[in-house]
C-alpha cells in the first residue's frame, strides 16, 4: 500500500472539485497570457516559430501525461485494497526513468527533424526539451499520485503553481527583450516547479513515495500503453500546430500564425480544464464503473452544449476579439472560428471517453481509440486542400473515430461485467 492516506471513498469532495476547477482556470489564463505575450512581442513569422516550439513542448508533456493517468489509476487501485499493493512499484523512480528515456530518444533523433521543426536555435531548444522531459516526468508522477490519493487541493496547487511559474518566467524574458529562443527556454524551465512544491508540502513529499498496485514490470507495461495513447492525444490536443508545420511548406506555415492561434484559443477553454480534471474523471469512473456509458451521458450533453454555445460566440465575437487582443495581423473568419470551437468539443469528448476506458483498465482500447483518431487526422492533413480546410476536417473527423472505438469498448466491458454478475 502507498504511504499516502487517501481522502476517503471516491476522494472527491466539493472543496476538491472546486479547487481543481480554480486550478484549471489559472492554467488556462496563464496559457492565454503566454500566447498573448508572444504575439505582442514577436512579429508573426517569429511567433509562428514560437508556437511550433510551444506545440512540441506541450506535445511532449502530453505524452508524459500517460504516466500521470496510469499513476492515478494504479495508486487509487492500491488504496482500494489490491493485494499486490504492498509490493507495488515506487511510482516516482519509474516516472523519472520514463522521462529520462523519452528525453534521450528526442535528443538522439533530433538530427532528423529539429532543424526543420525548430529553426536556427534547434540545438539549444532540443536540449531544453530533453531536460524538460526528465524534470516534468516528476511533475506528472507526483500529480498522478496526488490524484490517486484524493489530495485534490494539493494537486490543484501544483497545477496552478506550474502554470503561473511559466507565465512569470516568460513575462520576465519578454520584458528584458530576449530572443524568441529565450521565450522558448523560459516556457520549458517551469517544468521544475514541482521540486519547490516538494520542499513546501508534506502531502507532495508523501505522494512522491507512493506505490503502484503492481510490481515494476507490469506497471511499466501499463505506462507504455497509457503513453502510446497519450502520444496520440498530445498530437491532437496540443501538438497540432507542430503537425501543421511538418505537413506544410515553409512559406505556407510562415503565414499560418493566425490559424494556429485560432486553433489554440478555441480549444483551450474546454481542453485545459479537462486536462486538470482527467484524474478526477478516472477516480469517478473507477468508483461507478457499473454504470458504463450512462456515467458519461450528462457530461457528454454538457460538453456538446458548451461547444454549440461557444461556436455561436466564436462566430459573433471571435474575429473582433482576435484583432483586438492580438493586433490587425491576426484576422480569422467567424465561420472558421465557430467550426474550430465545436471541433474542440469533439476532442473534449474523446478525452472523456478515453478516461472512462482507462479507468476500466482497457489499455489496448484506450490506445486504439487515440491512435485511430490521430491517424485519421494526419491522413486528412496530407490531402491537397487549402490549409484551413485541411485543419478543420482533421480536427473534426479524427476525434469522432476515436470516440466510436472508446464507446464500443465501454459497452462491451459493461455488458461483460453484468453477465458475470448474473447467477449461473
**Residue 287 near residue 80 (C-beta atoms within 8 A):** no
- Residue 30's Cα: distance from chain center in Å? 15
Helix (H, G, I), strand (E, B) or coil at 211: strand
Residues 6+ away with beta carbon under 8 Å from 407: 293, 353
Nearest in space to 409 (alpha carbons), one of 296, 307, 303, 304: 296
Helix (H, G, I), strand (E, B) or coil at 90: strand
Q: Where are the alpha helices (DSSP H) in 201-293?
A: 202-208, 216-237, 240-246, 250-254, 257-287
Q: Measure the CA angle with vertex 159, ends 157 and 160; round to 5°.
A: 65
Distance CA 198, CA 155 (A): 12
**Residue 244 near residue 391 (C-beta atoms within 8 A):** yes
Phi, psi of 46, deg, nearest 5: -70, -35
Indicate the pTM of the whole model. 0.75
Angstrom distances, CA of residue 411 to CA of 276, 294, 354, 365: 26, 10, 13, 12
Residues 6+ away with beta carbon under 8 Å from 324: none
Please say whether the dihedral angle defined by the alpha carbons of residues 410, 411, 415 and 421, taken in this order, is positive or negative. positive
Distance CA 74, CA 68 (A): 10
At how many degrees (to 10) do helices 44-79 and 91-109 cross? 150
In the block, cell 508522477 appears at 141
Write the pLDDT tens digit of every residue in 131-163: 999 999 999 999 999 988 888 889 999 999 999
DSSP code per residue over 150-200: T-HHHHHHHHHHHHHHHHHHHHHHHHTT--HHHHHHHHHHGGGHHHHHHHH
Across the chain, which distance is largest between two alpha carbons, in Å? 74
Distance CA 40, CA 46 (A): 11
Distance CA 36, CA 118 (A): 20
**Residue 264 near residue 51 (C-beta atoms within 8 A):** yes
- Residue 247's Cα: distance from chain center in Å? 22
- What does the pLDDT profile of the chain (424 residues) look like in tens digits? 344 444 444 445 667 667 877 888 888 889 889 988 988 888 888 888 888 888 889 889 989 988 998 999 889 887 765 544 457 889 999 999 999 999 999 999 999 888 877 877 889 999 999 999 999 999 999 999 998 888 888 999 999 999 999 999 999 999 988 888 889 999 999 999 999 999 999 999 999 999 998 899 999 998 988 888 778 777 777 778 778 877 877 788 777 888 888 887 787 666 666 665 566 666 666 666 666 666 677 777 878 888 899 899 999 998 998 888 888 888 889 999 999 999 988 988 888 888 788 777 787 888 899 889 999 999 999 888 888 889 999 999 999 999 999 989 888 887 776 665 544 3
User: Rounded to the nearest 10 degrees, how much is the dihedral formed by the CA atoms of 71, 72, 73, 79?
Assistant: 100
Domain ranges in the chain are 14-418
The pLDDT value given to residue 204: 93
Amino acid at each position: 500500500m502507498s504511504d499516502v492516506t487517501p481522502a476517503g471513498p471516491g476522494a472527491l469532495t466539493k472543496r476538491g472539485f472546486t479547487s481543481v476547477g480554480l486550478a484549471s482556470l489559472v492554467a488556462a489564463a496563464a496559457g492565454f497570457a503566454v500566447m498573448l505575450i508572444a504575439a505582442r512581442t514577436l512579429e508573426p513569422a517569429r511567433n509562428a516559430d514560437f508556437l511550433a516550439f510551444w506545440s512540441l513542448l506541450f506535445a511532449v508533456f502530453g505524452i508524459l501525461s500517460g504516466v500521470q493517468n496510469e499513476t492515478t489509476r494504479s495508486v487509487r487501485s492500491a488504496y482500494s485494497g489490491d493485494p499486490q499493493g504492498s509490493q507495488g512499484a515506487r511510482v516516482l523512480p519509474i516516472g523519472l526513468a520514463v522521462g529520462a528515456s523519452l528525453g534521450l530518444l528526442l535528443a538522439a533523433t533530433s538530427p532528423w527533424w529539429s532543424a526543420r521543426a525548430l529553426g536556427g536555435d534547434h540545438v539549444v531548444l532540443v536540449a531544453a526539451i530533453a531536460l524538460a522531459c526528465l524534470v516534468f516526468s516528476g511533475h506528472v508522477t507526483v500529480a498522478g499520485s496526488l490524484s490517486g490519493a484524493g489530495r485534490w487541493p494539493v494537486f490543484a496547487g501544483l497545477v496552478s503553481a506550474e502554470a503561473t511559474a511559466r507565465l512569470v518566467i516568460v513575462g520576465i524574458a519578454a520584458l528584458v527583450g530576449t530572443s524568441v529562443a529565450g521565450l522558448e527556454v523560459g516556457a520549458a524551465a517551469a517544468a521544475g516547479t514541482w521540486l519547490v512544491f516538494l520542499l513546501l508540502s508534506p502531502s507532495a513529499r508523501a505522494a512522491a513515495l507512493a506505490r503502484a498496485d503492481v510490481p515494476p514490470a507490469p506497471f511499466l507495461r501499463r505506462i507504455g500503453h497509457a503513453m502510446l495513447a497519450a502520444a496520440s492525444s498530445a498530437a491532437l490536443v496540443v501538438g497540432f500546430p507542430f503537425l501543421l508545420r511538418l505537413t506544410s511548406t515553409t512559406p505556407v506555415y510562415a503565414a499560418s500564425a493566425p490559424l494556429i492561434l485560432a486553433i489554440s484559443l478555441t480549444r483551450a477553454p474546454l481542453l485545459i480544464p479537462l486536462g486538470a480534471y482527467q484524474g478526477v474523471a478516472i477516480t469517478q469512473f473507477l468508483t461507478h464503473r457499473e454504470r458504463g456509458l450512462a456515467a458519461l451521458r450528462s457530461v457528454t450533453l454538457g460538453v456538446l452544449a458548451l461547444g454549440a454555445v461557444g461556436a455561436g460566440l466564436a462566430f459573433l465575437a471571435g474575429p473582433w476579439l482576435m484583432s483586438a487582443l492580438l493586433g490587425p495581423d491576426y484576422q480569422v473568419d467567424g465561420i472558421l472560428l465557430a467550426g474550430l470551437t465545436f471541433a474542440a468539443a469533439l476532442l473534449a469528448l474523446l478525452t472523456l471517453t478515453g478516461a472512462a476506458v482507462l479507468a476500466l483498465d482497457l489499455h489496448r482500447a484506450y490506445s486504439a481509440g487515440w491512435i485511430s483518431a490521430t491517424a485519421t487526422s494526419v491522413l486528412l492533413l496530407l490531402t491537397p486542400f487549402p490549409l484551413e480546410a485541411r485543419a478543420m476536417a482533421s480536427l473534426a473527423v479524427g476525434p469522432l473515430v476515436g470516440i466510436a472505438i472508446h464507446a464500443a469498448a465501454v459497452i462491451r466491458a459493461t455488458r461483460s461485467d453484468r453477465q458475470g454478475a448474473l447467477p449461473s
